[in-house]
Structure 1
């Protein structure tokens, strides 16, 4: 069965870096989807399609999003091409939203594989400090939120990202290929 892999994790866990590593590996049975976001392309590390609010509204009205949501003052969308890729037999991975997971589960059912990317607090602190986007107080807030991230999602497949990106990419591919049926769609 082809799957939509819904990658979630706290800010700084390495979701964007992991997705970039997967794009460069060109895994035959896996496509990495872009999100459509109403923020500029130079904001953050995510490889996304930047849309104005008007462009986003127009695409939504035309039914061009498989899923769409709002968070952090922005609008996010996943293009309807996801459905075409799944129908063509491809696994697709997306940078998902923890809050929007129930909507993804409703739309994709057993095809959805929620994967929570975890990272230890020490590694997360170093990553947040290195990217230089937050003040020390904001970093402490993110660390507190990260310690509770996913506590209500105990049945997601878990992927630790404390090591190298290559280790995490290899582990994710193995997870996709061998995830037990009971770990699918149960968050």
Structure 2
């Protein structure tokens, strides 16, 4: 109770969901479909990441900046969280904090290597791990024409698709029908809405 004798109102906190998965699993496709599904909701936000990668490089719609611009933004506190991977810098804009404080759902493209940092930065936090069978991943990656099927299968054999940590993980298998995986993604995200 506060000094006036009333009950303190607990600030509503929204959930940050980081979507992760190996190349070829279809996480960008599922996120795009979910963004369309929730387009009329004012309390669901899909984050545009800031990345030191050319805008026309394919994949997700991101804000492209130079390395110097990224460093300036980092020093100015422009990111809620940022990290480096594969020679690039990635940032989640600090503006997500305002949306979470309103109790909204924020969905971001994450990275499996920094999920512990996400969990330490956001609470509540959930990781959605989009996976597919090695054969499906290999076929999708082979279609991109960057590696041979043999090289792809060798690389896939070295990595695990499982994610563990001190946070909630929902795994969505996108080996089959895209409609089924999209429905599962939408159902998962709907669980974290404050309706």
Segments of structure 1 that go 5 or more residues without pairing to the other structure are: 180-187
- RMSD over aligned CA atoms reads 2.1
In the alignment, structure 1 residue 11 sits paired with structure 2 residue 23: yes
Structure having the higher Rg? 2
Offset, 1:27: 5.3
Counterparts of 1:81 and 1:47 in 2: how far apart (Å)?
A: 18
- In the superposition, the TM-score normalised over structure 2's length comes to 0.81
Matches for 1:15-164 after TM superposition, within 5 Å: 15-25=27-37, 26=39, 28=41, 29-109=43-123, 111-146=124-159, 148-150=160-162, 152=164, 156-164=169-177
Ranges of 4+ aligned residues in structure 1 off by more than 6 Å: none
Counterparts of 2:69 and 2:59 in 1: how far apart (Å)?
A: 22
Count of aligned positions: 177
Counterpart of 2:100 in 1: which secondary structure? helix
CA contact (8 A) 1:11 1:142 kept: no
Q: Which structure has greater helix proportion?
A: 1
CA contact (8 A) 1:41 1:48 kept: yes
Counterparts of 2:105 and 2:156 in 1: how far apart (Å)?
A: 32
Greater Cα offset, 89-98 or 19-28: 19-28
Segments of structure 2 that go 5 or more residues without pairing to the other structure are: 1-12
